[in-house]
Amino acid sequence: MIKVGIVGFGRAAVAYHLPSFSEIPNTTITAVCDTQKTSLRKAHRLLPKAKLYTNLDKFLQEDLDIVDICTPALFHYEISSAAINKGINVMTEKPVALSLKETLDLKEKAKKKNVKVCVMQNWRFKKCFSQVYDAYKEDKLGKITKVIATFNGLDVRSEPWWHYSEKESGGILYELDIHVLDLETLLCGEPKEVIGINLHPTPFKKYIVALEAIVSHYSGATGVFILSHDTTRQSSINVNLDIYGTAQDAHVRFFPPYNIIGAGTPIEPQKHFKRELKSFYDIVKSVITKKYRREIYLSHYEVLSHFVKAIENDFPPLVSLTDVIPTMKLADMLYQYISNNGEKL
């Protein structure tokens, strides 16, 4: 039996990790650690047999096979380090840390302790993207020349403070938009240079709420980011990727899930209409058949279930620390470019 301890029992744990673990055979959640009493009361209600802790050191004295970190990003490095030092495998929510330096340090520590670390960059496994990525790996898109990533979200000031506090969590680059940075590097490879950034700070330049950036990659591809968290007129579900290849192009929309691959001529309106109709039909069907709630956490389930098997059978996790190094390098490069040009994050 794989014994799991969860650190941080907020929305991510309850909505995504808990239902995922409930479907994974030979797995049990034996302990929960959180500093908030309200969260621990919820944990007791949902996991009456689990031991509850407010102290991380005491929590890590439990006999655990996996520490599952669901806290805000500013605590990920500290908790991961503590678990690794105890010789416990780590599953951490995104981002793995708040810098490439911290990521490389975790990799070195995990190697010395011979433990596995998996990062919850689960958007890689959302069906709308994975279908396009599979086509790319099968060389149906050719060489990627450009990726335009758009993330339009609700006003970041309506989110919990750690989502926008650059000093504490790196702000929108690390806490909110790391998924699109991750997908862009997955397609384009290691970033080479930040060509330019246009910033949209709050009044008095308190923190950044939106930015547009252009990045070059060693592969020759160009990445364009349009990241907005500054208006109530947009929704966090408005996330799109436009992928340009030498053979075919692709468009991915994350909600409602939608993708299309084409080349040579403009996509006919009828084809777009059929795709949109199917997208709407699939959502309605999933709601009626009561599968919609599971589809919300399905990509989390894929990462978590694979990680359990990786521990049982000793093979690499779906998203290792090595896998996210280009992502963290890109986040650091953008962060540093902004800092060097007078906008201190």
Distance CA 89, CA 326 (A): 22
pLDDT of 343 reads 55
pLDDT score, position 289: 64
In which order are the strands placed within the sheet that holds 238-245? 191-201, 208-217, 222-228, 144-152, 238-245, 249-254, 257-262
Domain limits at 32?
A: 2-123+296-320
141 shares a domain with 247? yes
- In a domain, residue 30? The reply is yes
Cis peptide before 256 (omega within 30 of 0): yes
Same domain? 11 vs 61? yes
Instruction: Grade residue 167 by pLDDT with cuts at 50, 70 and 90.
Output: confident
51, 14: one domain: yes
Q: Identify the pLDDT of residue 175.
A: 84
Q: Give domain status of residue 303, yes or no.
A: yes
Q: How much is the pLDDT for 295? A: 78
Q: Is 345 within a domain?
A: no
Give the pTM: 0.91
Q: Note the pLDDT tens digit of each residue in 35-62.
A: 999 999 999 999 999 999 999 999 999 9
Rounded to whole angstroms, the Cα distance separating 279 from 281 reads 5
For residue range 268-293, list pLDDT tens digits in order: 666 666 666 666 666 666 666 666 67
pLDDT of residue 204: 57
Q: What is the pLDDT of residues 64-100, one digit of tens each?
A: 999 999 999 999 999 999 999 999 999 999 999 999 9
The CA angle 120-121-125, to the nearest 5 degrees, is 110
Q: Where is pLDDT greater, at 153 or 271?
A: 153
| pLDDT of 178 | 95
Instruction: Label residue 296 by pLDDT band (50, 70, 90).
Output: confident
Query: How confident is the prediction for the chain on average, in pLDDT?
Result: 89
pLDDT-derived band at 101 (thresholds 50, 70, 90) equals very high
Q: Looking at the structure, do residues 145 and 56 belong to the same domain, yes or no?
A: no
Asked if residue 109 and residue 43 are part of one domain, the reply reads yes
The answer, yes or no, to whether residue 265 has pLDDT greater than 60, is no
CATH number, domain with residue 46: 3.40.50.720
- Number of domains making up the chain: 2
Structure tokens at 4: 């799991």
Query: Contact, 32 vs 9, CB < 8 A?
Result: yes
pLDDT tens for each residue of 103-130: 999 999 999 999 999 999 999 999 999 9
Same domain, 190 and 270: yes
The owner of tokens 């990726």 is 147
Given this model, what pLDDT does residue 232 score? 61
Alpha-carbon dihedral of residues 203, 208, 210, 211, nearest 10 degrees? 120
Instruction: Give the domain CATH number at 334.
Output: 3.30.360.10
**Do residues 222 and 77 both lie within one domain?**
no
Q: Is residue 86 part of a domain?
A: yes
Residue 174 has pLDDT above 80, yes or no: yes
